[in-house]
């Protein structure tokens, strides 16, 4: 299976080939063609390092319409770091495409800079829930035409107390949007959120993630407890 087989457009194939992507990861093989060729929602049980961001990011870039100047894709993530990471990845994937604007907004940073960024409407917005609500209340984001909504690390978002914010945000998006929910674990709260927010989703399960991805080397060294920290520091150095 290649990325071309999955149905992505040439400009995306070009940029990911430059990034060294050769074969799709299991979650990408499942999610990409599904997003491109079907229209129901997706629940993905997947941890980081499985290629999850590219699994939803590549099709969303493929589906974005540059000429339509409104927020088409919205991604919610629990932390500033994850927002920046998602936006950075998406920008890399769309580097060979005409003007797809991707903006990240998150708490913990001067809001003025983000307000300025929003002066030109993004096609894809990546956001932490709290900051997005703030911007929404200031009338700076219009979510009324969102076609694709991604909830990333849903379990973490609930752990951080974002349930009300998520509910509030989703109520500002169209009923007929497509919703994707990704989570590393599926506790009751996440299941309930998925049941409430998604319509007949297909479920995608990616192996536990305990095995390392191709990009990560793993080592195990057996050591007495009291020597563990010292050795770890030495190893990291
Ligand atoms: P996750 O969201 O599961 O943490 P990402 O999609 O961000 O994973 O992928 C992790 C890293 O691996 C990123 O740097 C990404 O560019 C790279 N990557 C993702 N998919 C592939 C692939 N199929 N081939 C090579 N590299 C990939």
Whole-number Å distance, alpha carbon 29 to ligand 1 midpoint, is 13
**Residue whose C-alpha is closest to residue 24's, from 123, 181, 201, 34:** 34
pLDDT tens for the 237 residues of the chain, in order = 899 999 999 999 999 999 999 999 999 999 999 999 998 899 999 888 899 999 999 999 999 999 999 999 999 999 999 999 999 999 999 998 878 999 999 999 999 999 999 999 999 999 999 999 999 999 999 999 999 999 999 999 999 999 999 999 999 999 999 999 999 999 999 999 999 999 999 999 886 444 556 677 777 888 888 999 999 898 888
Whole-number Å distance, alpha carbon 28 to ligand 1 midpoint, is 10
Whole-number Å distance, alpha carbon 58 to ligand 1 midpoint, is 11
Pairing of strands 124-127, 102-105: parallel
The residue nearest atom 26 of ligand 1, judged by CA position, is 21
Whole-number Å distance, alpha carbon 117 to ligand 1 midpoint, is 26
Phi, psi (degrees; rounded to nearest 5) at 90: -60, -40
pLDDT of 211 reads 55
Alpha-carbon torsion angle 69, 73, 78, 83, nearest 10? -60
Whole-number Å distance, alpha carbon 24 to ligand 1 midpoint, is 9
Residue 197: HSE in the Cβ half-sphere, 13 Å Cα cutoff: 28
pLDDT of 214 reads 65
CB atoms under 10 Å from CB of 96, counted, come to 15
Whole-number Å distance, alpha carbon 94 to ligand 1 midpoint, is 15
The residue nearest atom 9 of ligand 1, judged by CA position, is 51
Strand partners, 43: 181, 203
Q: Report residues whose beta carbon is within 6 angstroms of any ligand 1 atom.
A: 19-21, 24-25, 28, 48-54, 89, 215
Which of 51, 77, 78, 210 has most ligand 1 atoms within 8 Å of CB, for mutation? Answer: 51
- For tokens 């030109």, the residue is 120
The residue nearest atom 8 of ligand 1, judged by CA position, is 51
Residue 151: HSE in the Cβ half-sphere, 13 Å Cα cutoff: 31
pLDDT of 48 reads 83
The residue nearest atom 17 of ligand 1, judged by CA position, is 51
CB atoms under 10 Å from CB of 131, counted, come to 20
pLDDT of 209 reads 45
Q: What share of the chain is helix, strand, coil (3-state, %, to 5)?
A: 40, 15, 45
């Amino acid at each position: 299976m290649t990325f071309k087989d999955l149905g992505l457009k040439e400009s995306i194939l070009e940029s990911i080939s430059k990034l060294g992507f050769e074969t799709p990861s299991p979650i990408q093989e499942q999610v990409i063609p599904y997003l491109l060729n079907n229209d129901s929602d997706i629940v993905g049980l997947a941890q980081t390092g499985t290629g999850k961001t590219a699994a939803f990011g590549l099709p969303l870039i493929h589906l974005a319409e540059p000429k339509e100047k409104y927020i088409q894709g919205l991604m919610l993530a629990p932390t500033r770091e994850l927002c920046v990471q998602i936006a950075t990845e998406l920008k890399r994937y769309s580097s060979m495409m005409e003007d797809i604007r991707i903006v990240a907004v998150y708490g913990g940073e001067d809001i003025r800079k983000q307000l300025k960024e929003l002066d030109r409407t993004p096609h894809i917005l990546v956001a932490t829930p709290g900051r997005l609500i703030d911007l929404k209340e200031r009338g700076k984001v219009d979510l009324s035409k969102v076609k694709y909504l991604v909830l990333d690390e849903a379990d973490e978002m609930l752990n951080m107390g974002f349930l009300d914010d998520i509910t509030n945000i989703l109520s500002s998006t169209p009923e007929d949007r497509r919703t994707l929910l990704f989570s590393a674990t599926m506790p009751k709260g996440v299941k309930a959120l998925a049941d409430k927010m998604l319509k007949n989703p297909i479920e995608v399960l990616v192996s536990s993630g305990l095995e390392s991805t191709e990009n990560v080397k793993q080592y195990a060294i057996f050591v007495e407890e009291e020597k563990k920290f010292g050795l770890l520091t030495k190893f990291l150095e």
